Structure 1
Amino acid sequence: MILVAVLLAVLVVPMSISGTGVALPYIGSDLDAGLVPLQWVVNAFNVAFACFTLAWGSVADIIGRVRAFALGATIYAAASLVSVFAGNVILLDAARALAGIGGAAIFACGAALLSTVFEGPARGRAFALFGTVAGVGVSFGPSLSGVLIGSAGWRWVFAVHAIVPALALLAVPTMRRAVRETRVDGARIDVRGSALFVLAMLLLTTGIAQGSQWGWASPGVLGLFAGTIAVLAVFAAVEKRTEHPMLDLGVVADRRFVALCLVPVAGSFGFVTMLTYLPGYLTAAGGWSSGAAGAAMLLLTAPMLVLPLVTAKLVARGVPATRIIRLSVVLLVVGAVGLQLFRPGIDLGLVALPMLITGAGFALAAGLVDGQALALVAPERAGMAAGLLNTLRLGSEAVAVAVYGSLLATVISGRTRDGIAEFADAGDPATVAGTVASGNISGPVGHVAEARRGSLTDLLVHAYDGAFHTVLWVLGGICLVLLVLIVALLRGRKAEQTAAG
């Protein structure tokens, strides 16, 4: 029952991250919302989640994982219920931020609970299911949201997010009886450290969220990034002098733990970016219908349904976990290279294999990384470790998606700089590039005379296709660098023996 409750609550959090964006046009129309507050329906959740995940992990080690998990699920369900009945976008933004705080508790405390309750092969299976459910949530969140919006309206997206964690709360009495809590004796919540870390993450994620609007080299964005570095420096100094810090820097000093934390970062750049932007490429450059693009994405997400449980069985039979983890990142690199086969009008059969390889690279490590990383820390620090791991996971997803979008728009702008001058009525070149990068080619084309639309379409499709492949090489290079770092940090007999167990 504990496992089912944790998995139920965990399912809706990544669905909220990936699926809410589908509802934005309908929310904007219904609530008469402007562009910036509408974007913060998504950004508010992501920022709050990234800010509070580590803090919740530390709190769980002090007040108990069951209490912290229950509190987080309650906050998430209540905030989602407010979202259902929100009458304006400002209230919806506030509710989404509150839901992000609750979602952070669900992820950090849910992982810590599984680490506390299960041992040996059972722990491996539990975390395999954890990874599978989280992957299914992020992969199929957009599809489920689309079905709910089409059949019942956008408010039902948030209604589901309220109902599911409420069901998980029914298991809390059983959790309290069954879970033997391992707490840090005499510890108090590190208010100063928590406040500094939340401030640092708020500056960083706000800078990322606003980068595409203000410009990545604008004083505002650069100031936010500089502030992040300064606050993190103060945070590290404070944590060294705190008796019971929210982040034990000794854990970060463990090279094996750091290596495992870098694996989901590679997944963010190699897989999550494709999950987010590949449908736009298929519809804009490939001319596919949205339905066909959605069906093709099953090749990317299908491995999540199978491979996490397969890897758990392999590890239980003695296959070293580090071997599987290294293979997962290798497949992400190979997948990025293989996806270079994409061209406008290409047959799906020719790109099916690299899509499956990319999905497998993400799925092999899903859940396995969490179980292996938490096994490296003392039981009383499991919450803090889970919080750090999930902070890096979501933070890297936000960074990867933002980097992809920014690079794509920059390269498209460079490729269309000369040709777009012939189509002055299409709009400002920078605006056109941003619009095309979002997957919308028909918008700029619709502004020019009908006789010239074919020529502009060819120019923009060619630019989009070239930019897509350029960014793919960058993403593959990032995954390759992370692979080298992960292999170097995991190297050694001690690391192999620990992870294999």
Structure 2
Amino acid sequence: MTTHTEFPSLKAAPILLIALLISVFAVPSQIAGTAVTLPSIAAELGADPGPLQWVVNGFNAAFTLFTLVWGVVGDRIGYKTTFIIGAIISIAASLLSAFAPNLIVLDFARVAAGIAAAALFTSAAAIIGNAFAPGVRAKAFGLLGTVLGIGIAFGPVVAGLLTSALGWRGVFVAFGVAVAASLALSAAIPRIRHERVEGSRLLDFRVLRNPHFLAMTLVPVVQAFGFVTMLTYFPVALSAIWGLDAGAAGLVMLIMTAPVLFLPALGVRLIARHRRISAMTIAYIALGSMLVGNAFLLFVSPSLALGWLVVPLVLLGISMGLPLGFVDGEAMGAVPAHLSGTASGVLNFMRLGGETVAVGGYAAVLAFLVAAQVGDSELADRVASGEPGNAGIYADAFGTTQLLILAIVGVGTLAIALLHGSRVRRERRASAAQQIEDAITAAKSAREHEAGVRRDR
């Protein structure tokens, strides 16, 4: 295997990080921010639940499938080339979204945007994993997590404010402008490419055999159900149950997303400075916060004062933010360098696959539960899309759906704990075997030394 790399100069490194991080910022911003625009889109283009939900789900599904494709392609054609292709497609898709005349065109544009986002995200992670020395790489992945947190934190707020000021179309223009800025700085990105290894597969899921890689991969999958569903559809609940507009809903969501802004760096710092705090320790704290936060949301009702939402929303923010700075780095560090793109693709396939299933399933279940209470299908569509005026119906459906989410988060947490236990047992067995081998080697050396002494006599 040959690796072709042009490492960035010291002066180019900050520009390189800025280029990558701007593009990474745009990905969670599109996932989190687009949900806030759904009521406005429904008011202009129609509330048909299928096409309307695909404004979000189309992006997620395309992102999920194409992380695998772009991960492998990036290993072949180079991560910089993949990044540039993704940026160009993303800009075009954002402009098409902004000028879409109907939901069908908008859905098509969001699918294209998801394909492009997969190229940007997988190539950015692979570039960071290959272009920096281990010490600097950990800090770069920490910044990656922080920027993801910023995108999640401010995506709903910015989208809500832009929707209030410019309409929902202005939100998609803003996405295109952000990626265009990243593309303008792409000259600083080094060219990194790995030659194909004999016997390698197009889609290689063998990296999932590593218990630590799989455990780290399952963390964002569980987060998809416990956090991303709320990130995507709780703004709709705020409209349906409490009658908030897009701007106000975005500000309330800041309670949940603000912790994601600064906690990724804290998680990385805790692991680096305290020997007894491992990545799994932080993961367990996050998963516990997610369970408690989702349990609190079971009590959502029209009579509940908005102030009571602070505790569960903060807990959900903690559950997403703490692991965000090290999950990708921990997972990528568990695989060989020449599989960086493939591993990034698998990781993000699992992450976005979880989000696609979680978000799509959540919307379908909630819409079904609303329709079961409302005889008029047209009214049911409007209630499920967040139209105020039927708070009790929406709240009942929300609570039932939340029970399902809580059960899934619990099962996912158990699976991660079992994988961690398997890894610990394997490491203990390996350590014990190494100690036995060292003892045998030491005894053999002692016997040889003793024999040599006797010969000298």
Report the AA paired with residue 99 of structure 1.
A
Count of residue pairs brought into register by the alignment: 411
> 1:375-386, aligned counterparts within 5 Å?
375-386=333-344
Q: CA deviation at 1:30?
A: 6.7
Q: CA deviation at 1:121?
A: 4.3
Q: Could you tell me how far apart the structure 2 residues matched to 1:405 and 1:167 are?
A: 34
**CA distance 1:340–1:119, shift in 2 (3 Å):** farther
Tell me, which stretches of 5 or more residues in structure 2 are unaligned? 1-14, 429-457
Equivalent in the alignment of 2:16: 2
Equivalent in the alignment of 1:220: none
Identify which of 113, 122, 128 aligns with 2:142: 128
Report the AA paired with residue 84 of structure 2.
A
Equivalent in the alignment of 1:436: 383
The TM-score, its normalising length taken from structure 2, stands at 0.80
CA contact (8 A) 1:320 1:496 kept: no
Q: CA deviation at 1:68?
A: 1.4
Equivalent in the alignment of 1:296: 252
Equivalent in the alignment of 2:10: none
Q: 3-state DSSP class of the match of 2:386?
A: coil
Equivalent in the alignment of 1:254: 210
Tell me, which stretches of 5 or more residues in structure 1 are unaligned? 188-242, 421-426, 443-456
Equivalent in the alignment of 1:406: 364
Q: CA deviation at 1:487?
A: 0.9
Q: Could you tell me how far apart the structure 1 residues matched to 2:370 and 2:53 are?
A: 23
Q: CA deviation at 1:151?
A: 3.0
Q: Could you tell me how far apart the structure 1 residues matched to 2:427 and 2:262 are?
A: 25
Q: Could you tell me how far apart the structure 2 residues matched to 1:96 and 1:285 are?
A: 28
Q: CA deviation at 1:244?
A: 2.3
CA contact (8 A) 2:63 2:117 kept: yes
The 10-residue stretch of structure 1 (87-96 or 345-354) with the greater mean CA deviation from structure 2: 87-96
CA contact (8 A) 1:331 1:358 kept: yes
Q: Deviations over 1:277-310 (max 9, x none)?
A: 3233334334556554433222211111110010
Equivalent in the alignment of 2:438: none
CA contact (8 A) 2:60 2:355 kept: no
> 1:240-389, aligned counterparts within 5 Å?
243-286=199-242, 291-317=247-273, 318=275, 319-389=277-347
Equivalent in the alignment of 2:408: 478
Identify which of 65, 68, 72 aligns with 2:82: 68
Q: Could you tell me how far apart the structure 1 residues matched to 2:97 and 2:139 are?
A: 35
**CA distance 1:89–1:339, shift in 2 (3 Å):** closer
Q: Deviations over 1:213-252 (max 9, x none)?
A: xxxxxxxxxxxxxxxxxxxxxxxxxxxxxx3212223212
Larger radius of gyration: 2
**CA distance 1:292–1:262, shift in 2 (3 Å):** same
Q: CA deviation at 1:263?
A: 0.6
Q: CA deviation at 1:119?
A: 4.0
Q: 3-state DSSP class of the match of 2:189?
A: helix
CA contact (8 A) 2:264 2:325 kept: yes
CA contact (8 A) 1:182 1:379 kept: no
Equivalent in the alignment of 1:161: 175
Report the AA paired with residue 351 of structure 2.
R
Q: Deviations over 1:109-143 (max 9, x none)?
A: 11111111234443333222222222332343233
Q: Deviations over 1:408-437 (max 9, x none)?
A: 3444455x4xxx6xxxxxx53x55555434
CA contact (8 A) 1:341 1:350 kept: no
The 10-residue stretch of structure 1 (73-82 or 47-56) with the greater mean CA deviation from structure 2: 73-82
Q: Could you tell me how far apart the structure 2 residues matched to 1:41 and 1:409 are?
A: 16
Q: Could you tell me how far apart the structure 2 residues matched to 1:261 and 1:300 are?
A: 23
Q: Could you tell me how far apart the structure 1 residues matched to 2:386 and 2:39 are?
A: 15
> Are 1:184 and 2:115 an aligned pair?
no
Q: Deviations over 1:256-285 (max 9, x none)?
A: 211111111111111111222323333433
Q: 3-state DSSP class of the match of 2:227?
A: helix
Equivalent in the alignment of 1:228: none
> Are 1:493 and 2:424 an aligned pair?
yes
Q: 3-state DSSP class of the match of 1:355?
A: helix
Report the AA paired with residue 256 of structure 2.
L
Report the AA paired with residue 146 of structure 2.
T
Report 1 or 2 for greater relative contact order, CA contacts < 8 Å, sequence distance ≥ 6: 2
CA contact (8 A) 1:269 1:479 kept: yes
Q: Could you tell me how far apart the structure 1 residues matched to 2:315 and 2:289 are?
A: 6
**CA distance 1:300–1:130, shift in 2 (3 Å):** same
CA contact (8 A) 1:304 1:359 kept: yes
Q: Could you tell me how far apart the structure 2 residues matched to 1:39 and 1:278 are?
A: 14
The 10-residue stretch of structure 1 (483-492 or 41-50) with the greater mean CA deviation from structure 2: 41-50
Q: Could you tell me how far apart the structure 2 residues matched to 1:169 and 1:281 are?
A: 36
Q: Could you tell me how far apart the structure 1 residues matched to 2:100 and 2:246 are?
A: 29
Q: CA deviation at 1:39?
A: 5.2
Equivalent in the alignment of 2:130: 116
Report the AA paired with residue 406 of structure 2.
G
Equivalent in the alignment of 1:232: none
Q: CA RMSD, aligned part only?
A: 3.0
Report the AA paired with residue 217 of structure 2.
C
Q: 3-state DSSP class of the match of 1:297?
A: helix
**CA distance 1:322–1:182, shift in 2 (3 Å):** farther
Equivalent in the alignment of 1:465: 395
Report percent identity of matched pairs.
41
Q: Could you tell me how far apart the structure 1 residues matched to 2:249 and 2:47 are?
A: 28
Q: Could you tell me how far apart the structure 2 residues matched to 1:22 and 1:343 are?
A: 20
Equivalent in the alignment of 1:446: none
